[in-house]
Amino acid sequence: MADDAERRGESVPVEGSRRDPEKESIIFTKLKNGSYKIYELEKEFPPLDAIRLRRAFIEQETGTTLENVGIFSIDIERVVKRNCENMIGTVQVPVGVAGPLIVAGEYAQGSFYLPLATTEGALVASVNRGCSAISQAGGAHARILHDGMTRAPVFAVDSIVHARQVADWVSAHRDDLRAAAESTTSHGKMTDVVTYIAGTSVFVRIEFDTKDAMGMNMVTIASAKVAELIAQGTGARLIALSGNMCTDKKPAVINGIMGRGRSVVAGIALSHENISQILKTDAKSLFEVNYRKNLVGSARAGSMGFNAHAANIVAAMFIACGQDAAHAIDGSTCITTVDLTDSGVYISVTLPSLPVGTVGGGTGLETQQECLRILGVAGGGNPPGTNAKKFAEIVGVGVLAGEISLLGALAAQHLARAHQQLGRG
């Protein structure tokens, strides 16, 4: 482990190099007048030097001290090449754990501690209570319903007749398109292609099995090859490699219906005793809160998600485990249901669009790797794809735990009290 000075980039132990104040002053002058670009520092200096110089320049320009931003333990040699441009340091997010959580999935089986990165007081405590309810009930079931990452290029055509011809051509040449897509990757497999027409715009939604990767880079590169073939074969003009029918990082009904990433369901039966002892409420109250809040309230608001706070758990686990945090929007399309039973309630969550991976992107960063290892899902699975599916099932049951706890707090009228005790500082 490097000492603090090295982590800040204060010392430069690369090939015996030393700080040169005069040279730094010249560089700062060039950065300020625009003759030297801030992104060019890595071309001339080792990553630690480049980060330190860039941070010092920003400090000078903004009159801000970035002492804490400049402390990090991750391998920045990798980060500056794959994860972040113009790096000046890192922002630390507290990570708590909730659990143990018992999961009975097809891929995730056993007891897990959930790493949750958040600055929202009461969130980890809430999920932890949901974990207790689930574990006391013997564990929650989880299943993957669908698995496929999408990209949807948009083409311009001459007329609606031409649009139909393009759609027919795509349907007739699926095997050719699949071969073109899979020529770009040794891991991904094209599993489906569907066309949608809106006047003279044709959208081709291509779906891939990306194994243990979340897969956006993989499917983008493969879709470019597919789009090239479609344009050559039909005369349609490729307008954009993403036409928003994918749909990526935006609320979209199509993701809720068709699925995107891993589509996950999780559910559990809670007894009257469990509800009373842990949640301090009763089955009927849980049912009514879910019905009037999550279902009727969400419908009246025009929401695309029918849940209490699914995005909270998705975002916290995504940040901790190196996922793309913007995809928390997909997790918010979750539907939470509560069914009354003779013995209590059956509570379930359905997350149709959960883009997760255990290789690539931010999963390779040391701190995020450690969180993935807590769950036993770091790296590629054997066979490929099983780690990502396991991770998706765990996230699904984590969301279930969060929903159970918040519904219980609302039903027992404890929400304000909990935030007053844990959410203020």
How far apart are the C-alpha atoms of 82 and 391, rounded to whole Å? 23
pLDDT of residue 51: 95
pLDDT of residue 190: 98
Q: What is the pTM of this model?
A: 0.92
Alpha-helical (H) ranges within 107-173 are 123-136, 160-172
How far apart are the C-alpha atoms of 155 and 60, rounded to whole Å? 47
Across the strands, what pairs with 346?
Answer: 269, 339
Residues 369, 375, 380, CA angle at the centre, nearest 5°? 60
What percentage of the chain carries pLDDT values higher than 90? 89
Residue 251's φ and ψ, nearest 5 degrees, are -60, 130
Q: Which two tokens stand for residue 12?
A: 């430069």
The chain-wide mean pLDDT, for the chain, equals 93
For residue 312, what pLDDT band results from cuts at 50, 70 and 90?
A: very high
How far apart are the C-alpha atoms of 304 and 63, rounded to whole Å? 43
Whole-number Cα distances in Å, 26 to 62, 86, 135, 162: 18, 19, 62, 59
3-state secondary structure of 335: strand
Q: Which two tokens stand for residue 310?
A: 């699914």
For residue 10, what pLDDT band results from cuts at 50, 70 and 90?
A: very low
Alpha-helical (H) ranges within 107-215 are 123-136, 160-172, 174-182
Q: Are 230 and 155 in contact (CB under 8 A)?
A: yes
Residue 24 has pLDDT above 50, yes or no: yes
Residue 411 has pLDDT above 70, yes or no: yes
Per-residue pLDDT tens for 69-79?
999 999 898 89
Whole-number Cα distances in Å, 231 to 28, 158, 200: 48, 13, 14
pLDDT of residue 262: 98
Query: Catalytic amino acids?
Result: 120, 324, 419
For residue 420, what pLDDT band results from cuts at 50, 70 and 90?
A: low
Residue 8 has pLDDT above 70, yes or no: no
Q: Are 324 and 355 in contact (CB under 8 A)?
A: yes
Q: Are 230 and 204 in contact (CB under 8 A)?
A: yes
Weakest-pLDDT range from 16-30, 102-116, 289-303, 393-407: 16-30
How far apart are the C-alpha atoms of 20 and 26, rounded to whole Å? 10
User: From start to end of 296-368, where are the E strands?
Assistant: 335-341, 344-354
How far apart are the C-alpha atoms of 425 and 420, rounded to whole Å? 9
3-state secondary structure of 111: strand
pLDDT of residue 11: 36
Across residues 11-37, what is the average pLDDT? 74
98-147+257-422: what CATH class?
alpha beta
Whole-number Cα distances in Å, 224 to 97, 170, 178, 221, 248: 41, 15, 12, 5, 16
Peptide bond into 220 cis (omega under 30): no
Q: Which two tokens stand for residue 296?
A: 């009727």
How far apart are the C-alpha atoms of 19 and 27, rounded to whole Å? 13
Residue 335 has pLDDT above 50, yes or no: yes
153-240: what CATH class?
alpha beta
DSSP 359: B
Question: Which residue ranges make up each domain of the chain?
Answer: 40-92, 98-147+257-422, 153-240
End-to-end CA distance of the chain: 32
Q: Which two tokens stand for residue 238?
A: 């490729």
For residue 356, what pLDDT band results from cuts at 50, 70 and 90?
A: very high
Q: Are 69 and 52 in contact (CB under 8 A)?
A: no
Residue 372: name the closest of 383, 143, 361 by CA: 361
Q: Are 247 and 254 in contact (CB under 8 A)?
A: yes
Same CATH fold, 153-240 and 98-147+257-422? Answer: no
Q: Are 38 and 57 in contact (CB under 8 A)?
A: yes
